[in-house]
Amino acid sequence: MDDTSLVEIRGLNVDFATDNGTVHALRDVSLSIGRHSVIGLVGESGSGKSTLALALLGLLPDNTQRISGEIAFGGKNLLALDPGELRRLRGTRIAMIFQDPMTALNPVFTLGTQLVDAQRSRHPELGRRELLARAARMLARVGISDPEKRLWAYPHQFSGGMRQRVMIAMALLCEPDILIADEPTTALDVTIEAQIVRLLKELHAEFHGSIVFVSHSLGLISEICDEVAVMYAGKIVESGPVGSLFSRPSHPYTQALLACEIDPADAPGERLVTIPGGLPDLVNVPSGCIFADRCPSRFAKCGEEPPPRPVAPGHAAACWLVP
Ligand SMILES: Nc1ncnc2c1ncn2[C@@H]1O[C@H](COP(=O)(O)OP(=O)(O)O)[C@@H](O)[C@H]1O
Ligand SMILES: [Mg+2]
C-alpha cells in the first residue's frame, strides 16, 4: 500500500444466498482509494456498485453467504472487525449518503435530535447545546436557510433535494475519512442534481476526507471525481484517473457507456444508445471475459479471462485488446 492510499481493497469476493442459488455479486475486486480523493464507481444497475459500497461500510445484507479478500483501512482489515468496532467506525470515520434520504432519516424525530445523535460518537466531549450549534452551522454550510429554526423541523417538511442536503450535513458532522455517496442524486431532478453535485465538490475542497461517489452517469462522475472505477457484472473492468479514462476509454464496456451518454442537445434527433444485451447470470458466472457476450469486438482470446492491462500510468483495463 503506498502512503497516498487511504483504503486498499484486495481480491474482494461477495456472495449472496438466494432461492435460485449463490449470486457471485463481486468477484476479485481490487481498488485503491487515495487520500483526499474523489473516486467514482460507475456501471449499469446490477453491476455491484452498492455491494462494494456496503462492504466498505460493513453493512452487507443478512443473506451474505461469503466474503473473502481484504479491505485495508488504517492498518486494519475491515472484513475482520467485529460488529461493535464497525459500528464505531461508521459513526466516526466512514459515513454514507443513501439514494433515498428517508431510509436514513427517522420521520418521528426532529432534525436537531438526529443531527445531534449523529455526532455523539465523534464528539463525546460536547454537550447537546454545542452539538446543536455545530448542526446549525453545518446546515447553513449545505445551503439550508434559517438553520436554527430548521433544527426543530421534521424530515417530511423538507423537499427531496433539501433532505439530501441534510444527509450530507449529517455525514460531514462526523468528519469522516471516507464519505460514501451511493447514487445520492438519482431521485432528484437534473437542476437539483447539479446543485448537489456542485455542493459535494465544494465541500470536498474544505474537508479532509475522501469521497466514494457511486453513479450510473459518467457525466456526473467526470464533474466531481479524480479517479473512476468502471464496474460490470461484479468486476472492475477499467479504472484510472478521470482525464486518462475519458480521453482513452479502453474497455469496450466503458466505450459503450460513453456512447450511451451522448448529450441529446449535442446530437439532436439522435436516439439515445443503449448497450444491446443484458447482464450475465451471476449464479452461473460464464468463464472468460465477463463482457464477451455483449462485446462488439470479441475474438477467440476472450474465452480466457483478461487481467487488468496497463493503458497509462494508474490506468488499466481488463481487455485483451489493450496492447
Ligand atoms: N441481498 C442480495 N441478495 C441477493 N442478490 C443481491 C443482493 N444485493 C444485491 N444482489 C445482486 O448483486 C448484484 C449487484 O447488485 P448491486 O450491488 O445492488 O448493484 P448496483 O448497485 O451496481 O446496481 C445484482 O445482481 C443484484 O441483484
Ligand atoms: Mg446500487
Q: Please tell me the distance between residue 48's alpha carbon and the centre of ligand 2 in angstroms.
A: 7
Mutating to test ligand 1, I would choose from 20, 50, 65, 237 the residue with most ligand atoms within 8 A of its C-beta, which is 50
C-alpha cell, 17: 444466498
Is the CB of 20 inside a 6 Å radius of any atom of ligand 1?
A: no
CB-CB contact of 40 with 298 (8 Å): no
Burial (CB < 10 A; 0-12, 13-18, 19+), residue 72, is middle
* Residue identifier of the C-alpha nearest atom 14 of ligand 1: 48
pLDDT digits (tens, 9 = 90+) for 84-140: 999 889 888 999 998 888 878 999 999 999 999 999 988 999 999 999 999 999 999
CB proximity list for 66: less than 8 A, separation 6 or greater: 13, 14, 15, 22
2 residue type, one letter: D
In a domain, 204, yes or no: yes
In a domain, 131, yes or no: no
Average pLDDT over residues 239-247: 96
pLDDT for position 11? 98
Reported as half-sphere exposure (CB side, CA atoms, 13 A), residue 30 has a value of 9
Is the CB of 282 inside a 6 Å radius of any atom of ligand 1?
A: yes
Average pLDDT over residues 46-66: 95
State whether the Cα torsion 129-130-132-133 is positive or negative: positive
Q: What angle do CA 277, 227, 279 make, to 5 degrees?
A: 15
pLDDT band at 266 (very low <50, low <70, confident <90, very high): low
pLDDT for position 207? 87
In a domain, 111, yes or no: no
CA-41 nearest atom, ligand 1? 22
In a domain, 143, yes or no: no
State whether the Cα torsion 20-22-26-28 is positive or negative: negative
pLDDT band at 4 (very low <50, low <70, confident <90, very high): confident
| Cα(158)–Cα(182) distance, integer angstroms | 20
Average pLDDT over residues 148-158: 95
pLDDT band at 6 (very low <50, low <70, confident <90, very high): very high
For a pLDDT cut of 70, what percent of the chain falls above it?
95
In a domain, 129, yes or no: no
Considering only residues 322 and 184, tell me which one the structure prediction assigns the higher pLDDT.
322
Average pLDDT over residues 67-81: 94
CA-52 nearest atom, ligand 1? 17
Is the CB of 106 inside a 6 Å radius of any atom of ligand 1?
A: no
| Cα(231)–Cα(41) distance, integer angstroms | 7
Is the CB of 215 inside a 6 Å radius of any atom of ligand 1?
A: no
CB-CB contact of 48 with 25 (8 Å): yes
* Residue identifier of the C-alpha nearest atom 7 of ligand 1: 16
| Cα(114)–Cα(92) distance, integer angstroms | 15
pLDDT for position 188? 83
Average pLDDT over residues 225-249: 97
Q: Please tell me the distance between residue 257's alpha carbon and the centre of ligand 1 in angstroms.
A: 20
Pairing of strands 38-42, 227-232: parallel
In a domain, 86, yes or no: yes
Could you give the number of structural domains in the chain? 1
**Mind giving me the DSSP string for 57-97?**
HT---TTEEEEEEEEEETTEEGGGS-HHHHHHHHHHTEEEE
pLDDT band at 298 (very low <50, low <70, confident <90, very high): very high
Examine the pLDDT at 1 and tell me if it is beyond 50: no
**Chain mean pLDDT for the chain:** 92
Examine the pLDDT at 271 and tell me if it is beyond 70: no
pLDDT for position 77? 95
DSSP code for 7: E
In a domain, 155, yes or no: no
In a domain, 137, yes or no: no
pLDDT for position 273? 62
Average pLDDT over residues 1-29: 92
CB atoms within 10 A of CB 104: 17
Own/partner contacts of 266-272, CB < 8 Å, gap of 24 or more, are: none
Is the CB of 18 inside a 6 Å radius of any atom of ligand 1?
A: yes
Q: Which domain holds residue 65?
A: 5-93+176-317
CA-182 nearest atom, ligand 1? 21
Is the CB of 19 inside a 6 Å radius of any atom of ligand 1?
A: no
pLDDT band at 264 (very low <50, low <70, confident <90, very high): low
Is the CB of 274 inside a 6 Å radius of any atom of ligand 1?
A: no
pLDDT digits (tens, 9 = 90+) for 170-217: 999 999 999 999 998 888 888 888 888 999 999 999 888 999 999 988
C-alpha cell, 22: 449463490
For a pLDDT cut of 90, what percent of the chain falls above it?
76
CATH code of 221's domain? 3.40.50.300
CB-CB contact of 293 with 310 (8 Å): no
Task: Name the E strands within the chain.
Answer: 5-18, 21-34, 38-42, 64-73, 76-77, 94-97, 178-182, 210-215, 227-232, 235-241, 309-312, 315-317
pLDDT for position 269? 54
